[in-house]
Amino acid sequence: MALDFKQGISKQITKLNMKTSTFLEENKIKTFIGTLENDIRDLKVKAGELGYQMWRSGNFDPNQLIPLYKEISTKEAQIQEQEQQMKEIVAKNQQVLGQTSSESLSSAPGNAVICPKCGASCPANVNFCKKCGNKLH
């Protein structure tokens, strides 16, 4: 009886550790994605301003914009890689803990729901993800 109790406690602690580590890893990825999105926004503004200045001066040279566009494309590719990595983390966590997608939705901290598509945390009372628009319920 005491052995079963110890095993039960150990299993719950392992689950808690796994969920915590997954949560922290997801948040790191989300923060990095947010930084990349801000960088992309800044690069687009910079490209727009540069293009307008060149056009206004009558010396429009699209070749001067290409490095900015390439940098934007690189950052967009990094975002896709990070989103894929987050999906893999969620899938691995579900596999290790034996959860289904609906169980992972309810495992969000507090009164929140985790989107199975992008991993964003959303209030439990909403039907669609605020980040990607995926249906939650």
Mean pLDDT, each 10-residue run in order, the chain (137 residues): 75 81 90 96 98 96 96 97 91 73 45 77 81 82
In angstroms, the CA 127 to CA 134 distance is 9
